Chain A
Amino acid sequence: MTYLFKRLSLLLLTLLLISVVTFVLTKILPGDVAIMILGTRSHPETLTALRQELGLNDPLVVQYGRWIGDLLQGDWGTSLRFKEPIAKLLGQKILASGVIVVLSLLIALSLAIPLGVVGAVRQNRWQDTVSSSTALLGISLPDFFWGMVLILLFSRWLGLLPSSGFVSPLENLWLSIKHALLPAIALGLSLMAHLTRMTRSAMLEVLSQDYIRVSRSKGLGERMVVYKHALRNAIAPVITVAGLQLGYLFGSIIVVESLFNYTGVGWLTYQALLNRDIPLIQATVFVIATVFMLSNLVVDLVYKVLDPRISFE
Chain B
Amino acid sequence: MKRRDFLKLSALTGGAVLLGNAPNFRALAQGGTPASGGTLVWGHSETTQNIDIHQTGTASTLRMLQNVHDSIVVPDSNFTIQPGLAEAFEVSSDLLTYTFFLRPDVRFHNGKLLTAADVKYSFERVKDPATGATNFEVFNDVEEILALDDHTVQIKMSRVYSPFLARLSENGSGAIIPEGSGETTGTQPIGAGPFQFIEREFGNEVRLKRWDEYWQGPAYLEEIISREVTEPTVRLTGLRTGEMHLINDIPLDRVDELKADSNLQVHTWAPLSWAFLNFNHQIEPFNDPRVRLAFDYMIDKEVLVQGALWGQGEVTASPSFPTSPSRNNDLQVRPQDFNEARSLLAAAGVNPSDLEFTFKTTTNYPWHVEATQIMQEWFRMAGLRVNVEALTWSDWLSQCWINRDYTVTMMNFFTLWEPDFLYYSLWHTTGAFNYRNISDPVLDDWLQQARETADQSVRMELYHQIKQRIYDEAHDVVLWFRNGTLAAQKNVGGLDHIVNPNGSNLNFWRVSLG
User: A residues near B, CB below 8 A?
Assistant: 29-32, 35-47, 49-50, 53, 81-84, 89, 92-93, 96, 151, 155-156, 159, 162-166, 258-261, 263, 267-268, 271, 274-276
Are A30 and B243 also in contact (CB < 8 A) when A39-B58, A44-B432 are? no
Interface residues of B in 455-509 (CB under 8 A from A): none
How far is it, in angstroms, between the C-alpha of A271 and the C-alpha of B230 when the chains are bound? 12
Q: Within the complex, which residue of A92, A96, A164 is in contact with B237, where a contact is CB–CB below 8 Å?
A: A164
Contact B237 A163 (CB under 8 A): yes
Task: For residue A89, give the distance in angstroms from its CB to the closest CB of chain B.
Answer: 6
Q: Within the complex, which residue of A49, A84, A163 is in contact with B241, where a contact is CB–CB below 8 Å?
A: A163
* Contact residues in B for A166 (Cβ distance below 8 Å): 204
How far is it, in angstroms, between the C-alpha of A258 and the C-alpha of B230 when the chains are bound? 8
Task: For residue A88, give the distance in angstroms from its CB to the closest CB of chain B.
Answer: 8
Complex: chain A residue closest to B431, CB-CB: A43
Interface residues of B in 175-197 (CB under 8 A from A): 186-187
Total CB contacts across the A-B interface at under 8 A: 124
Q: Within the complex, which residue of A41, A89, A156, A276 is in contact with B394, where a contact is CB–CB below 8 Å?
A: A276
How far is it, in angstroms, between the C-alpha of A275 and the C-alpha of B205 when the chains are bound? 20
Contact B202 A89 (CB under 8 A): yes
* Contact residues in A for B228 (Cβ distance below 8 Å): 261, 263
Q: Does B57 contact A (CB under 8 A)?
A: yes
Contact B129 A49 (CB under 8 A): yes
Task: For residue A93, give the distance in angstroms from its CB to the closest CB of chain B.
Answer: 8
Task: For residue A278, give the distance in angstroms from its CB to the closest CB of chain B.
Answer: 13
* Contact residues in A for B243 (Cβ distance below 8 Å): 155, 162-165
Complex: chain A residue closest to B201, CB-CB: A92
Give 1 or 0 for each of B408-448: 1 = CB within 8 Å of chain A CB: 00010100000000000000000011000000000000000
How far is it, in angstroms, between the C-alpha of A213 and the C-alpha of B394 when the chains are bound? 64
Q: Within the complex, which residue of A35, A82, A163, A263 is in contact with B49, where a contact is CB–CB below 8 Å?
A: A82
Q: Does B52 contact A (CB under 8 A)?
A: yes
Give 1 or 0 for each of B381-425: 1 = CB within 8 Å of chain A CB: 000000000001111011101100000000101000000000000
* Contact residues in B for A53 (Cβ distance below 8 Å): 130, 132
How far is it, in angstroms, between the C-alpha of A252 and the C-alpha of B132 when the chains are bound? 35
Are A35 and B394 also in contact (CB < 8 A) when A43-B432, A83-B186, A271-B203 are? yes
With a 10 A CB-CB cut-off, give which of A155, A263, A268, A275 has the most chain B CB atoms.
A263
Are A268 and B203 also in contact (CB < 8 A) when A82-B50, A163-B241, A163-B243 are? yes
Give 1 or 0 for each of B102-136: 1 = CB within 8 Å of chain A CB: 00000000000000000000000000011010101
Are A165 and B237 also in contact (CB < 8 A) when A31-B394, A36-B397, A82-B50 are? no
Q: Within the complex, which residue of B134, B203, B234 is in contact with A259, where a contact is CB–CB below 8 Å?
A: B234
Contact A40 B238 (CB under 8 A): no
Contact A82 B401 (CB under 8 A): no
The 8 nearest A-B residue pairs measured at CB: A31-B394, A43-B432, A41-B57, A263-B203, A31-B398, A83-B50, A261-B229, A155-B241
Question: Can you name 8 A-B pairs with beta carbons within 8 Å?
Answer: A30-B394, A41-B134, A53-B130, A82-B49, A83-B49, A159-B242, A163-B238, A163-B241
Q: Does B240 contact A (CB under 8 A)?
A: yes
How far is it, in angstroms, between the C-alpha of A96 and the C-alpha of B488 when the chains are bound? 28
* Contact residues in A for B50 (Cβ distance below 8 Å): 37, 81-83
Contact A35 B137 (CB under 8 A): no
* Contact residues in A for B137 (Cβ distance below 8 Å): 43, 45
Q: Does B47 contact A (CB under 8 A)?
A: yes
Contact A31 B411 (CB under 8 A): no
Q: Does B360 contact A (CB under 8 A)?
A: no
Give 1 or 0 for each of B33-50: 1 = CB within 8 Å of chain A CB: 000000000000001011
Q: Within the complex, which residue of B201, B238, B241, B397 is in contact with A31, where a contact is CB–CB below 8 Å?
A: B397
Complex: chain B residue closest to A276, CB-CB: B394
Categorize the interface residue count of chain B.
35 or more
Contact A258 B231 (CB under 8 A): yes
How far is it, in angstroms, between the C-alpha of A258 and the C-alpha of B232 when the chains are bound? 10
* Contact residues in A for B395 (Cβ distance below 8 Å): 30-31
Contact A271 B47 (CB under 8 A): yes
Q: Within the complex, which residue of A39, A50, A163, A271 is in contact with B397, where a contact is CB–CB below 8 Å?
A: A39
Task: For residue B293, give the distance in angstroms from its CB to the closest CB of chain A.
Answer: 25
Q: Does B51 contact A (CB under 8 A)?
A: yes
Q: Does B227 contact A (CB under 8 A)?
A: yes
Contact A84 B231 (CB under 8 A): no
How far is it, in angstroms, between the C-alpha of A40 and the C-alpha of B203 when the chains are bound? 22
List 17 extra interface pairs beyond A82-B202, A83-B51, CB under 8 A: A31-B394, A38-B134, A39-B397, A40-B401, A40-B433, A43-B137, A82-B49, A83-B186, A92-B204, A155-B241, A155-B243, A159-B241, A162-B241, A163-B234, A164-B234, A165-B227, A267-B203
* Contact residues in B for A260 (Cβ distance below 8 Å): 234
How far is it, in angstroms, between the C-alpha of A27 and the C-alpha of B55 when the chains are bound? 25
* Contact residues in A for B55 (Cβ distance below 8 Å): 83
Task: For residue B274, give the distance in angstroms from its CB to the closest CB of chain A.
Answer: 12
Complex: chain A residue closest to B129, CB-CB: A49
* Contact residues in B for A159 (Cβ distance below 8 Å): 241-242
* Contact residues in B for A155 (Cβ distance below 8 Å): 237, 241, 243
Give 1 or 0 for each of B201-238: 1 = CB within 8 Å of chain A CB: 11111000000000000000000000111110010011
Complex: chain A residue closest to B402, CB-CB: A35
* Contact residues in B for A163 (Cβ distance below 8 Å): 234, 237-238, 241, 243
Contact A30 B134 (CB under 8 A): no
Complex: chain B residue closest to A159, CB-CB: B241
Complex: chain B residue closest to A155, CB-CB: B241
How far is it, in angstroms, between the C-alpha of A91 and the C-alpha of B89 when the chains are bound? 47
Q: Within the complex, which residue of B129, B201, B238 is in contact with A164, where a contact is CB–CB below 8 Å?
A: B238
* Contact residues in A for B230 (Cβ distance below 8 Å): 258, 261
Task: For residue A281, give the distance in angstroms from its CB to the closest CB of chain B.
Answer: 13
* Contact residues in A for B392 (Cβ distance below 8 Å): 274
* Contact residues in A for B413 (Cβ distance below 8 Å): 40
Task: For residue B338, give the distance in angstroms from its CB to the closest CB of chain A.
Answer: 32
Contact B186 A151 (CB under 8 A): no
How far is it, in angstroms, between the C-alpha of A288 and the C-alpha of B413 when the chains are bound? 37
How far is it, in angstroms, between the C-alpha of A276 and the C-alpha of B402 when the chains are bound? 16
Contact A42 B204 (CB under 8 A): no
Contact A35 B397 (CB under 8 A): yes
Task: For residue B248, give the distance in angstroms from its CB to the closest CB of chain A.
Answer: 15
Complex: chain A residue closest to B243, CB-CB: A162
* Contact residues in A for B401 (Cβ distance below 8 Å): 35, 40, 42
How far is it, in angstroms, between the C-alpha of A260 and the C-alpha of B57 when the chains are bound? 28
Task: For residue A248, give the distance in angstroms from its CB to the closest CB of chain B.
Answer: 22
* Contact residues in B for A38 (Cβ distance below 8 Å): 57, 134
Complex: chain A residue closest to B51, CB-CB: A83
Task: For residue B243, give the distance in angstroms from its CB to the closest CB of chain A.
Answer: 6
* Contact residues in A for B204 (Cβ distance below 8 Å): 92, 96, 165-166, 263
Contact B237 A39 (CB under 8 A): no
How far is it, in angstroms, between the C-alpha of A263 and the C-alpha of B228 when the chains are bound? 10
Q: Within the complex, which residue of B47, B201, B242, B411 is in contact with A40, where a contact is CB–CB below 8 Å?
A: B411
How far is it, in angstroms, between the C-alpha of A117 and the C-alpha of B158 when the chains are bound? 84
Task: For residue B205, give the distance in angstroms from its CB to the closest CB of chain A.
Answer: 8
